[in-house]
Structure 1
Amino acid sequence: MTSSELRTLYSTSVSDCHRALIKEYGRYVYSIIFNKLRLCGTKEDIEECFSDVFADIFIKLDEDKLLETDIKALIGTVAKRTAIDRFRRLCAAQKHIENTDENDMALIPADISVEAHAESSELRRLLISKIKELGEPDSTILIQKYYYNRKSEEIAKNVSMTASSVRSRCTRAMEKLRTKLAEIGITE
């Protein structure tokens, strides 16, 4: 279909012109879209993109932009660009879904060493076990002071002591803890 044939058909009946465009270029547009979306889109995605292409072409036709250019080239360009845009959106949506589902390991930042994280976790476990070996109230005082960043006055209320007693117990408990950690080879 040439520009002059399209112009004549458009002047007689707009709907006949639309039907003729789809009949003439429908397979061409569908093949462009199918080749771009077949790996990431469903049949519905392809059909929706096909509709979007022809809606855009009909808008250009109503604005007289299509009547002055090479029709097949313009239709091919619109189809290709629309399909590429849809492809990008579908791939981005699928990537988002994949990341939230099963690829939790891919979400670990590259600067985090799994080995260092495991060692750190083991060190924390050992530290807590040695703190608990100190007994009460020393273990409670150390945990509340160094893990929960509580002040001596707050800790004193929880363990029924004075703030000065908590401070002195904390100092002595830290010395005992250093000794216990040195016995297993952990120094500061």
Structure 2
Amino acid sequence: MDNKIIRKIKDRDNMGLNLLINSYAKNIYYIISTVIGDNGSQENIEECMKNTFSNIWNDIYEIDREKISFKTFILKKSKKTAMEYKSRLEHKDEKQEAVIEEEKNNSERSKEVVNIIKSFKNPDKTYFYLNYIMNYDIETIAEKYGESISTVQNTLCRCRLKLKNIIEKEVIVDGK
């Protein structure tokens, strides 16, 4: 049967793939589910099986029947594919954890910045809000509040410096 499967796959006959699946799917499933273990879902195992069948299909010419049996070739391909897949899953999990942690830190930092801005006294808080949040230009703010442009500019500069100093102190204290 193995010779028939090999010949059909080498001839790129889909019947060879069907025979492979019918003959070895349980063994391949066992290897993959053992290697992937708790790191993956049923979908991960099925996707890895598809990759394994594809790898066997593509690498069929690598088999040296004098050195190893077809079954050994298949099981080695299954294990190698599963180990690579497991590695990708673990790396993906690490990336997701890093992204979640970064989003959490950014959210906390944003809350801190908002609290710092809320602590500004008026008119500083109003000018800062209108300029940096509502995108009013300095001239409009100055005209609206009866101030000179330089007064509004100086107020915004002081606010930025306060914000910068507070953030820098937190970074030094937190060691980030």
TM-score calculated relative to the size of structure 2: 0.51
Q: Structure 1 residues 22, 40: CA separation in 2 closer, same or farther (over 3 Å shift)?
A: same
Q: SS at the partner of 1:39?
A: helix
Unaligned runs of 5+ in 2: 159-176
- Equivalent position of 2:57 in the other structure: 58
| Residue 146 of structure 2 corresponds to residue 160 of structure 1 | yes
Bigger-Rg structure (1/2): 1
Percent identical residues: 18
Give the helix-richer structure, 1 or 2. 2
- Equivalent position of 2:30 in the other structure: 31
**How much has 1:65 moved relative to structure 2?**
2.4
- Equivalent position of 1:108 in the other structure: 105
- Verify the 8 A CA contact 2:28 2:75 in the aligned structure 1: yes
- Equivalent position of 1:70 in the other structure: 68
- Verify the 8 A CA contact 1:33 1:50 in the aligned structure 2: yes
Q: Deviations over 1:148-185 (max 9, x none)?
A: 48997554322235558x58xx79xx9xxxxxxxxxxx
Count of equivalent residues: 144
**How much has 1:96 moved relative to structure 2?**
5.5
Whichever residue aligns with residue 144 of structure 2, its letter is N
**How much has 1:48 moved relative to structure 2?**
2.9
- Verify the 8 A CA contact 1:7 1:67 in the aligned structure 2: no
Unaligned runs of 5+ in 1: 133-138, 175-188
Q: SS at the partner of 2:39?
A: coil
Whichever residue aligns with residue 40 of structure 2, its letter is G
Whichever residue aligns with residue 52 of structure 1, its letter is N
TM-score calculated relative to the size of structure 1: 0.48
